[in-house]
Amino acid sequence: MRYERSYSVEKTLAKDNRYKKLSGVCAGIAKYYGLPRLGVRIATIIALITFPVAVGVAYIVAAVLMPSSK
């Protein structure tokens, strides 16, 4: 017996090149989760002020590893 999954919507986490400010990471995360881009950017800035090293490294890693949207 073979079972194949079929999904009507394929969501992939990718950088958003259309609405990018720096590298498109925040816009891509906002698009993936259906959140406002401005809210994600503000949350990232607040997190960057609170935990600068951890968030800075995470942002750089995400910018390098996340694929660009088509």
Residues 18-61: tens digit of each pLDDT: 888 889 999 999 999 999 999 999 999 999 999 999 999 999 99
CA triple 41-43-49, angle to 5 deg: 105
Q: pTM here?
A: 0.79
Band of pLDDT at residue 7, cut at 50, 70 and 90: low
pLDDT number for residue 52 = 96
pLDDT number for residue 8 = 63
- Domains of the chain by residue range: 25-65
